[in-house]
Amino acid sequence: MSYAKLLKKHDFSFGNFEEEKFPIVPFSDDLMSLVFDSRFQVDFDDLESETLAPMESRLDLGILYFNSDFCINEAFPTPLLCTLHGIVVYDPHGNYADTSAPPDYQFITYDAFNSTDLVGCRNNDEPGLLVDLGTDQIMLSSNVEDGKIMVSKDEIMFIHRILTVFLEEGYKSEDGFVEIDNTHCIFL
């Protein structure tokens, strides 16, 4: 099941999700069976049980968003997973081109985020999500396969909106301790 179908199951879409809220998908048996990374057929159970995702990502607490059709810096495809502690993508220094085994995943904590902004892409007319990490920046945009945009403009704008609300209202971090304020969330 895709994230769009998960929203639809709860009578939401990328366009009608409440503006001042962010979603939390509890880490349940239903979520465990969903495919996280379609290139390697890695589901959430594999991601957690085989410790493919760094432990700091805290999948067990739930997730905000997932999709396996993203691209980093318009250079290479990656899945995107937004947990309650940060994002998980392919490690840019890993061997993601070898499909015989799952690649290394990188966790980027929200503490490293300076800002998130919508920007234009060079390779297509769709928006990208620019994440400013202080010493570095990454742009997350739709992967393009055979000329087809895989992640819609509405979906990228949705991710930007929920991350903005989550980082302003839901995510509290101090001295290495993270607290999630769920008063602005909708559980899916």
Over residues 137-185, the pLDDT tens digits come to 999 999 888 888 889 999 999 999 999 999 999 999 988 788 999 899 9
Q: How many CA atoms lie within 13 A of 165 on its CB side?
A: 19
* CA distances, 118 to each of 15, 18, 69, 139 (Å): 16, 19, 18, 9
Task: Please report, as a single letter, which amino acid is at residue 109.
Answer: T
Q: Name the H helices within the chain.
A: 3-9, 29-32, 44-49, 153-165
In angstroms, the CA 188 to CA 185 distance is 9
pTM for this one?
Answer: 0.89
The reply to whether CATH 2.30.29.30 applies to domain 3-92+104-187 is yes
The answer to whether the beta carbons of residues 132 and 139 sit under 8 Å apart is no
Residues of the chain with pLDDT under 70: 48-55, 95-97, 102
